[in-house]
Chain A
Amino acid sequence: MHHPRQRPGKTVLLTFALAALTCVTMTSAQEPDFGDVGFEFPPEPPPQAADTPTEFDGVPLSIPGGATEALLFYLFGGTLLVSALGVCISRSVVRMATWLFFTLGAASVLYFLLGAAFLGAIQLIVYAGGTLILLVFGVMLTSKSPWVRYDCPRTEMAAAAGVAIVLFAGLLTLLTRTVWPGTAPMARGGTVAEFGKELLTTYLVPFEVASVLLLVVMIAAAYLARQDR
């Protein structure tokens, strides 16, 4: 079976441009503002050891002993890295999806370790439980054969490598130029109720913009799926 392939041309250029733009934006910011992503630094330097909460929202931040937490972090961080690599080097699309599942799962465990239980659970339900299944489903339904393999031509591989290098360079610059706090940031406002309130007050506009975007996507999907166009 031969597929007429699209030449990488425009898509690759566009991706390049986007990557570069992201890097420039990221590196130009001197101090990243974590407030926007739901975290904030602890207001004071690390408190007395006796006051360190061992449980947060009923979730133990760590099993007694900081070493355990570190161990878990490295374990799941390692899983994340290895599985992400697996996504990149697998040929079979479903294997990629399986690797991606481990990536997403490990990321959500990291969220749990950070005390952001809601974010972790949402990560699981939306990405691992929903998007990923839709992805696999779509691949099975639309591919030439259900046992599809993905073979990458050299040009695309080179282009992807280029994009990756630019992105990596940007991230590296960002990582080195950021002043990191000594401790991991704590999630602010733990309960879901507070989370919801914030979404509907402080972050109402982005929230609504996102929902409008999703609505547009839904309408577009319905339009595409309609048969008699």
Chain B
Amino acid sequence: MTQMSVPWRPRGKAKFDGPAGMVAGGAKTVFAIFAPFVRAFPGAIMLSAVFGTIVAVWAHYLLFEVVDIALIGSTFNIPANTGLLGGPLTVEEARSALTQIGAPAAGFLCYLLYPVQYGLVRDLVAAGGILGFISVIPLYTIWWERKVAGRIQSRTGPMRVGGWHGWSQSMADGIKLICKEDLCPAGADKPLFKLAPYLAFVPAILAFFALPFGTYWVFRQLDVALVFILAMLGIEVLGVIIAGWASNNKWSVYGAMREACQMVSYEIPMGMALLIPIMCVGTLSLTTIGDTQSGGWTSWIVFRSPFTFAAALVYYIASLASCKRAPFDLPESESELVAGFHTEYSGFRWSLFFFAEYAAMFVVSGLLVILFFGAWYSPLPLLWADGLGESLPARAVKGVLFAGPIWFIAKCVFLLYVQIWLRWTLPRIRIDQVLYACIQVLLPLMMLILLGHTFYELLVPVGGVVWTLFNLILSTIGAVLMIGMLFVATYGCWNRVRLVGNLGRELLPGS
């Protein structure tokens, strides 16, 4: 074959060096080591990873508790202004505390225990855990979104990477994104262009620092956690706006302007909807609000009055708008604005926006769960668990059946699923309709709800006939909806082959 002559200069062979080369090399090594195992036991690895994470977190929690008990039981006065080294507990005391509770290998464990008494160390550990969690959420939400979208559209979604239903597709995408070229368009405001993804990403992480996963499962138990999280969601928008502006692209500016005006207007009904649980409980602390809903299904704030029911709905709609999720995904609508504010982004910076978006989706779902849907409590009343005692197995049963982060995460994931479901079902609305829906519909409606709820709280005695009646009716409606949903999902799952055809599943690997 003769060499074709081309009018442009042929490019040299691509060389990957620096961080990209390191990442690529690392990925190749990891792949070479783990790929055979992953191929052999994909499902088992995934399940054991989930289970192992739970066990690790549980062990972590127990460790902290042991130290706390030791600290309280310690006979020493806690000296003020202790430095970074030389804390209240010594290794010896830790060892004796461990021996007291009969832990095995106390001589070894005490060295592990020692650093945990310092707040800084605990914070670092917890922050690491939260960062890990935030990294996992987008990975699996994106994979799950693709699977759900596939099912909705009568196809399978990712099936290849990782073996079992393409479960490591997002990780492969992540490695690809990190290795991609980091483009900065000519004429862009370089510093701002590079800063913007972080301005979107960091607030999303910070919001998690105040979001409780359980009564004690919170990084910082802020008295004003709700306001803080709302503020973080608001600041995330700044990153988006600056990204759009700094890209030197008109479509990006359009995306940024849409995002700004959408966010600024929907924050108002959203904030007002959040006022309703605050009125019910009388605090801004998310932990306290969550803990008032421990009495099972009927005690969830959403079923408390017709107004809370409506407010939960309004909040959910507004939260869709504030997360730029369909049908409110105007800032990044590809059929109008190419890709909106992140048109010019590529590689890692682009993925930061996605991390921020999915993290924000989880945060707004978490807020809804905490404020309206019984926080980390199961539909069973916590009172039933009183007889179980405080032994370790009893705690495990309690954590799984009655209250615990598992319930919180499960509820959030369900709400995430609803967001995904809506996205792949509904068309996108227009900017004037977005603003009309907010200012002319949601806002007056929310004002009425707020007013109505104020009078409801003032005039209807808690536990009275009217209150109980409404509570029961609404709880029944909720239960019927939930059971109906579960029924439909089960029916669809059972009849999936008949409903969408065999989807070529036999032909794909890992089926």
* Surface stretch bound by B, among A131-139, A152-160, A167-175, A178-186: A131-139
Within B320-349, the residues touching A (CB, 8 Å) are none
Q: Judge whether B235 and A124 touch: CB under 8 Å.
A: yes
Q: Which of A52, A66, A128, A136 has the most CB of B within 10 A?
A: A136
A64-B87, A117-B224 are contacts. A192–B192 as well, Cβ < 8 Å? no
A58-B220, A60-B119, A65-B83 are contacts. A98–B235 as well, Cβ < 8 Å? no
The secondary structure that dominates the B interface is helix
Q: How far is the CA of A140 from the CA of B238 in the complex (A)?
A: 13
Q: Judge whether A64 and B256 touch: CB under 8 Å.
A: no
Q: Mark B227-238, 1 if CB is under 8 A from A, else 0.
A: 110111111011
| Number of A interface residues in the complex (CB < 8 A) | 42
A141: Cβ under 8 A from any B Cβ: yes
Q: Judge whether B238 and A128 touch: CB under 8 Å.
A: yes
Q: Judge whether B192 and A94 touch: CB under 8 Å.
A: yes
Nearest CB in chain A to that of B210: its residue: A121
B6: Cβ under 8 A from any A Cβ: no
A206: Cβ under 8 A from any B Cβ: no
Q: How far is the CA of A105 from the CA of B239 in the complex (A)?
A: 14
A36: Cβ under 8 A from any B Cβ: no
**B235 touches which of A57, A59, A95, A129 (Cβ 8 Å):** A129
A128-B235, A129-B237, A192-B283 are contacts. A94–B230 as well, Cβ < 8 Å? no
Q: Judge whether B264 and A130 touch: CB under 8 Å.
A: yes
Complex interface: chain B residues within 8 A of A67 (CB):
83
Q: Judge whether B227 and A64 touch: CB under 8 Å.
A: no
A34: Cβ under 8 A from any B Cβ: no
Nearest CB in chain A to that of B261: its residue: A137
Q: Judge whether A95 and B189 touch: CB under 8 Å.
A: yes
Q: Judge whether B231 and A140 touch: CB under 8 Å.
A: no
Complex interface: chain B residues within 8 A of A140 (CB):
241, 245, 253, 256-257, 260
Min Cβ gap B330→A in Å is 15
Complex interface: chain A residues within 8 A of B261 (CB):
137
Q: Judge whether A58 and B222 touch: CB under 8 Å.
A: yes
Q: Judge whether B253 and A98 touch: CB under 8 Å.
A: no
Within A146-205, the residues touching B (CB, 8 Å) are 146-147, 190-193
Q: Which of A117, A125, A136 has the most CB of B within 10 A?
A: A125
Q: Judge whether A128 and B81 touch: CB under 8 Å.
A: no
A49: Cβ under 8 A from any B Cβ: yes
A118: Cβ under 8 A from any B Cβ: yes
A65-B84, A121-B224, A147-B248 are contacts. A94–B242 as well, Cβ < 8 Å? yes
Q: Which of B189, B231, B241, B250 has the most CB of A within 10 A?
A: B231
Q: How far is the CA of A101 from the CA of B199 in the complex (A)?
A: 10
Complex interface: chain B residues within 8 A of A25 (CB):
none
**B234 touches which of A50, A63, A128, A191 (Cβ 8 Å):** A128
A122: Cβ under 8 A from any B Cβ: yes
Min Cβ gap B213→A in Å is 15
Q: Judge whether B263 and A65 touch: CB under 8 Å.
A: no
Q: How far is the CA of A125 from the CA of B225 in the complex (A)?
A: 12
Q: How far is the CA of A192 from the CA of B234 in the complex (A)?
A: 21
**A125 touches which of B192, B195, B230, B246 (Cβ 8 Å):** B230
Complex interface: chain A residues within 8 A of B78 (CB):
50
Q: How far is the CA of A146 from the CA of B245 in the complex (A)?
A: 8
**B228 touches which of A92, A98, A124, A146 (Cβ 8 Å):** A124
Q: How far is the CA of A191 from the CA of B260 in the complex (A)?
A: 32
**A121 touches which of B227, B238, B267 (Cβ 8 Å):** B227
**B192 touches which of A60, A65, A98, A118 (Cβ 8 Å):** A98
Q: Judge whether B223 and A118 touch: CB under 8 Å.
A: yes
Complex interface: chain A residues within 8 A of B253 (CB):
140, 146
Complex interface: chain B residues within 8 A of A124 (CB):
228, 231-232, 234-235
Chain B contact patch, size range: 35 or more
Q: How far is the CA of A16 from the CA of B199 in the complex (A)?
A: 37
Within A97-139, the residues touching B (CB, 8 Å) are 98, 101, 105, 117-118, 120-122, 124-125, 128-130, 132-134, 136-137
**B267 touches which of A52, A58, A130 (Cβ 8 Å):** A130
Complex interface: chain B residues within 8 A of A146 (CB):
245, 250, 253
B100: Cβ under 8 A from any A Cβ: no
Nearest CB in chain A to that of B287: its residue: A58
Complex interface: chain A residues within 8 A of B227 (CB):
118, 121-122, 125
Q: Judge whether A130 and B234 touch: CB under 8 Å.
A: yes
B135: Cβ under 8 A from any A Cβ: no
Within B67-92, the residues touching A (CB, 8 Å) are 77-84, 87
B313: Cβ under 8 A from any A Cβ: no
A121-B227, A130-B264 are contacts. A137–B241 as well, Cβ < 8 Å? yes
Complex interface: chain B residues within 8 A of A117 (CB):
222-224, 228
B292: Cβ under 8 A from any A Cβ: no
Complex interface: chain B residues within 8 A of A50 (CB):
77-80
Min Cβ gap B211→A in Å is 14
A50-B77, A124-B231, A137-B241 are contacts. A118–B224 as well, Cβ < 8 Å? yes
Q: Judge whether B263 and A133 touch: CB under 8 Å.
A: yes
Q: How far is the CA of A117 from the CA of B221 in the complex (A)?
A: 11
Q: How far is the CA of A134 from the CA of B264 in the complex (A)?
A: 8
Complex interface: chain A residues within 8 A of B492 (CB):
none
Min Cβ gap A94→B in Å is 5
Q: Mark B169-194, 1 if CB is under 8 A from A, else 0.
A: 00000000000000000000101100
Q: Which of B79, B228, B257 has the most CB of A within 10 A?
A: B228
Q: How far is the CA of A101 from the CA of B261 in the complex (A)?
A: 18
Q: Judge whether B238 and A192 touch: CB under 8 Å.
A: no
Known: A98-B195, A98-B199, A192-B284. 17 other contacts (CB 8 A): A49-B81, A59-B223, A60-B119, A60-B220, A64-B118, A105-B235, A117-B222, A121-B222, A121-B228, A133-B241, A133-B264, A136-B241, A137-B260, A140-B257, A141-B257, A147-B248, A191-B223
- Footprint of A on B, CB under 8 Å? 77-84, 87, 118-120, 123, 189, 191-192, 195, 199, 220-224, 227-228, 230-235, 237-238, 241-242, 245-246, 248, 250, 253, 256-257, 260-261, 263-264, 267, 282-285
14 A-B residue pairings within 8 Å (CB atoms): A58-B220, A58-B222, A63-B119, A64-B83, A95-B189, A101-B235, A121-B231, A125-B234, A129-B231, A130-B264, A136-B238, A140-B241, A147-B245, A192-B224
